[in-house]
Amino acid sequence: MDEKRERMLKSTITQSNINTFAVSPCFSKEKASLVRPFVELILQKRVSGIITDFRSHKRGNDYSKMTEFVAQNSLGRNRYKDVGCLDNNRVILQMGPVAYIHANYVSTPNNSKKFICTQGPMDSTCADFWYMILQENVNAILMLCNYIETGATKCAQYIPIEVGQSLKFGNDQEITVTAKLIETYKFPFKTNVRIQITVCEIQLGSRTHTCAQYHWLNWPDRGVPEADMVPIHLLKQLENEANGTPIVVHCSAGIGRSGTIILLQVALEIIRIGQRLNPLDHYMTIIRQQRNNSVQTEHQYLYVHQVLLFYFKQKGYLDPAILSRLEQFKKDYLKVTTGF
Predicted model pTM:
0.93
pLDDT value at position 19?
Answer: 54
Model pLDDT for residues 5-31, shown as the tens digit of each residue = 554 455 444 444 445 554 443 334 578
| Distant-in-sequence contacts of 331-338, Cβ < 8 A, 24+ apart | 332/46, 332/47, 332/48, 333/47, 333/227, 333/302, 333/305, 333/306, 336/47, 336/51, 336/298, 336/299, 336/302, 337/223, 337/224, 337/299, 337/302, 337/303
- The pLDDT confidence band at residue 2, using thresholds 50, 70 and 90, is low
> What residue ranges in 119-246 does DSSP mark as E strands?
140-143, 148-149, 152-153, 166-169, 175-184, 195-204, 207-216
Q: Dihedral angle at the C-alpha atoms of 322, 328, 333, 338, nearest 10 degrees?
A: 150
**Looking at the predicted structure, is the pLDDT value of residue 205 above 80?**
yes
Give the number of residues written for the chain. 340
Of the residues 85, 126, 200, 251, which is catalytic? Answer: 251
Model pLDDT for residues 85-134, shown as the tens digit of each residue = 999 999 999 999 999 999 999 999 999 999 999 999 999 999 999 999 99
CA distances from 149 to 145, 217, 231, 252 (A): 8, 11, 21, 10
Average pLDDT of the chain is 92
Which helix (H) or strand (E) segment is 102 a member of? strand 100-108
The reply to whether 251 belongs to the active site is yes
Separation of alpha carbons 87 and 314, rounded Å: 40
Model pLDDT for residues 256-313, shown as the tens digit of each residue = 999 999 999 999 999 999 999 999 999 999 999 999 999 999 999 999 999 999 999 9
* Residue ranges in the chain assigned as alpha helix (H): 3-14, 31-55, 67-72, 126-135, 230-242, 257-272, 280-288, 298-315, 323-338
For 198-207, b/e burial (b = at least 16 CB within 10 A) is bbbbbbbeee
CA distances from 335 to 45, 299, 339, 340 (A): 16, 11, 5, 5
Superfamily of domain 3-32+58-306: Protein tyrosine phosphatase superfamily (3.90.190.10)
Longest dimension (CA), the chain: 65
